Structure 1
Amino acid sequence: MMVGDSVTLYTDIKVQKEDVIKWFFKKTPIAEINEGSSDITASDVEFKARLQLDSQTGDLKIRNINTIDSGDYKLEISRTGESPEKIFNVNVLPDDEVRSVTLMVGDSVTLHTYRNKKQGDEFSLFRGTLRYGEGLGGRLKLDNQTGSLNITNIATTDSGPYDLQISRSNYTVNRRITVTVVADVKSVSVMDGDSVTLHTGLTEIQTDDQILWKFGEQDIACLKGSVHNTPSNIDLNCQTGDLNIRNIQKDHDGDYKMEIITRRMILHRKYYMPVIDAMKSPSVKEGDSVALSTVTETQNNDLIQWLFGNITIGMINQTAQQFLTYNGPVQRFRHRLELDHKTRSLTITNTKTTDSGHYDLKISSSRCTINRRIIVTVTGVFGESVSEVKGNSVTLVTGLTEIQTDDVLEWRFGAERNRIARINKAAGVAKTYDEVLGGIFKDRLKLDDKTGSLTIVNVRSTDNGDYEVATDIAAFKKTFTVIVSDSDSGLSPGAIAGIVVAVLVAVAAAVAGVFYKKTKSQVL
Structure 2
Amino acid sequence: MKSTLNFFEVLILMCGVFGADEDEVKSMSVMEGDSVTLNPDPAQIQGFILILWRFGDPVIAQINGIEASYPRHTEIFIGRLQLDQTGFLTINNMRIKHSGLYKIEVIQRTGTSNMKFTVTVYESPSAVDAGVTEMKLMSVKEGDPVILQTGVPQLTGDELIVWRFGDEGKLIAKHDIEAKSPPLYDDTDERFRDRLKLNDQTGSLTITNTRTTDSGHYKVKISSNKQTIYQKYIVTVSEPGLSPVAVAGIVVAGIAVVVLLATAAAVGLIYHRRMIAEIPETVSGVEGEDVELKTGVTKIHTSDLIEWKGGNKDNLIAQIKEGTTTSYEDVFYGVFRDRLKLDMKTGSLTIKNPRIEHTGPYKFLINEKCKKRFIVYIKGKTLTVKENYSDTLETKTEIQTGDEIRWMFGDKDALIAEIKGETREMTTYDGPDGRFRDRLELDMANGSLTIKNITADHAGLYKLLILSSGSTLCSKFFIYVGESTASE
> Same fold, TM exceeding 0.5?
no
The structure, 1 or 2, with the larger RCO (C-alpha pairs under 8 Å, 6+ apart) is 2
Taking structure 1 as the reference length, what is the TM-score of the superposition?
0.29
Taking structure 2 as the reference length, what is the TM-score of the superposition?
0.31
Whichever of the two has the greater Rg, that structure is: 1
